Structures are given as C-alpha cells and as structure tokens.
Amino acid sequence: MREVSVIGAGMVRFGKYLDTSMKVLGRDAVNNALKSAGIEAKQIEAAAVGNAMAGLITGQECVRGQVVLREMGIGGIPIVNCENACASSATAFHLAWLYVASGMYDVVLALGMEKLYHADKKKSFAAIGSAVDVELMRELVAKMNADQEKLRAERAARGEAPSGGAGESRSMFMDFYAASARAHMQKYGTTKEHFARIAVKNHRNGSLNPYAQYQDVCTLEDVLNSPVVAEPLTRLMCSPIGDGAAATILCASSIANRFTAKPVKVLASILSSGTDHGPDEPDVVTRVANKAYSIAGVGPQDVNVIELHDASAPAELITYEELGICKPGEGGKLVDEGATEINGRVAVNPSGGLLAKGHPVGATGVAQICEVFWQLRGEADKRQVKNAKIGLTENGGGMVRGEAAAMSVHVFGV
C-alpha cells in the first residue's frame, strides 16, 4: 500500500439553506478544496461521495454524487456513492484513501454533503431516526418515551417544563445519548455540569470558526437553563440539524510536493462496524481507535488535536475514555482540568464540534478531516492549536443493538 496525503480541503459554512440546492453546496465545497490543493477539476481521477438523507428529504436517490459533480463539469471518472448514516463521508474518505493507497489512482476527491432542513421538522427527525434497526424502532421509541415520561413527571413535580417525545420534537438519538449519560453519571459520579462545560467549550470554539453554524459564546448557566430535550440533556448540549458540504483532495504522498509544500499524511484510515460483545470487551470506538493507533505508530498520548463525534455533550465525554485519552470514568476529571481546551493537553473539537459547527450528517466526517488538515498546517487562525503535529478524527454512524453501526477513525500527521 502506498502512503497517502491530503493536499487540499474546503467546505461551506454549515447552516440552514432551504433555498439552496445540494448541487450548489457540493460545488462550493469542491471548488474550495480544489483551490486549496492548487489543482483543476480535470486532474481528479476518481471521487467518493458521502450522503445519508437526500432520498428521504429531497427524493434524490441512487446517483447523488454524479448529479452534484456533473453539475460542475466533473464526469467521465469513477464516482462512488457512500451511504453510512453519520459516517457517510468518513466512509467516502476511507474509499478515496483506498483508491490512492492501492495505486489505482493518484488524485482522488472525497466529498460529503447533506441537506437536512425541511419545512416539516418531523420529516428531518424521521430521516435521522431511520439509521437504526427499523424492525426494533417502535419498541425502542416506546421504551425511551416511557423512561422520559417518568422523568417528565419528576420535572413536573418540581415545576419544570416538559419535553416532547422521541422522533417528534427531537431526534431519537438524543434519547440514546441521554440514557448513556445517565448510566455514566450513576456509575462514575459524572455531573450534568460536566456535560454543560463541554457545550460551553465547543460553542466558544465555534465562535472562532467562520464555517460553524452557530458562532455565539454561551455560559454554563445558558446551557443548564436551555430547554430540556431528554434528561439530562438540554438543547445546548445537543447538536443541531443542518445543511452543508465539505471536500478533501487526496493524492499519493510521492507526488504531493507537486501540489503543495505542506501535505498532511494519512497515517491510518480505519472503518469498521459495531458487533455483539460482552460487557468487559472493547466497544467499537476503542476497538477501531486501537487499530488506528497501531497502524499509525502512535498512542493517544501523542495526539495533539481531535475532532470527535459530539452529537451530544455526554457523547464527547464518553468518547474521551473510549479513545484512551483518559481512563474509564475520568472524563469528568479531564473536563475539570481543562485538558481538552484549545490550549489544553489535547484539544478536542476546536472547530466547535457538532454542537456548534453543526451536523449535516453526510458532510460531518469530511468536515472533521478539513479541520484537522487546517490545524496540522497551522491554518486554523484564532482557534489554532499550538504545535499540532498529530491529529485524529472519530466519526460514528447509526446504531444497532446499542452500539454505533459504522465507526471510522483516521489519524493524520505532518
């Protein structure tokens, strides 16, 4: 296998684009990546395109990548469409990496794109909620709503406002994250304030990122007092839906200096899936991360910057532990120490993460890679992590039997 480098990255600001087509979002992201790489579209030899929800939101199925890329004059090359829930474009990047690493092509595009906003918000939630075993979905929703009904009664007794049902006023995945958060709190003594401080950090980071959907700083009180979504999650602890696109250009490292003086090497690209395992066996994040560390020849202690899948604030804290940057149960301690701030021991989600940058699911994986690319090249401006040499992205998609259905971990270095 050949060594692979990323030579260009580009995206559009994530946000609400009801009147902008996916063709336009994808085109702008690709053009930004081409400009970053200093190449022309005709130099792209193959493309992998990630998208998860277009069929359910806009009705566009089957040939999404071809439809978007043809609009900007890119055709006559292999174009592979990747649908893998929230890991769709991380999967596309993995396939683009394989194309180059195998020696089949020298210059390959990885694009992620999504339009989630719809006039009927229930349609958006239903689309996101389809990334589970649908035969079990009704049973899952009924159980989650029963759990929340009990918590709602407790809140009502305290005179607090109620929250809506799973899949109606929120994504059902927030109920999964809420259940994991409650279990972590019970087992390790983690507090709601720990989760809230992660949200504060990520929104502060997002305020420094011109591509972030939300660029407002918020206080601990703002987070804790925002509307409850699913106990203990408040609205500001949850990632929003969004529209957007992100793109990267990969090439063989042996020719990278033809295009840029600052290539970023792909040290490891791992894609896997959840599996049935015992309670004492590694979860999917740990299993995939350990494989990535082994291939990259680094350990969690060597990583300077991480973009991880913080679809909720508790998810970020739990992923600290799963990635090995702290021991199980010590995620709260990491937050207390400020270790994951931009100027901390290991900066986590300097882009603002999904909480502030937004989560157009099919674009998220490549957007994470864009951020790490800019960080390792020293191009992240006000959110720059000092002396960043090793970066990692973690992106999960869907859920089957309580574990991510798809999981991707990439490690990068300069």
Q: Give the catalytic positions in this structure.
A: 86, 359
CA 57 and chain centroid, separation:
20
Using an 8 Å Cβ cutoff, are 285 and 407 in contact? yes
**Alpha-carbon distance 323 to 330, whole Å?**
12
87-120 burial by CB neighbour count: b if 16+ within 10 A, else e? bbbbbbbbbbbbbbbeeebbbbbbbbbbbbbbee
Give the C-alpha separation, 342 to 348, whole Å: 7
Nearest alpha-carbon partner for 344 in 298, 393, 303, 292: 303
What does the alpha-carbon distance between residue 265 and residue 346 come to, in Å, rounded to a whole number?
A: 19
Query: At which residue do the structure tokens 């929800």 appear?
Result: 53
Is 323 in contact with 285 (CB distance < 8 Å)?
A: yes
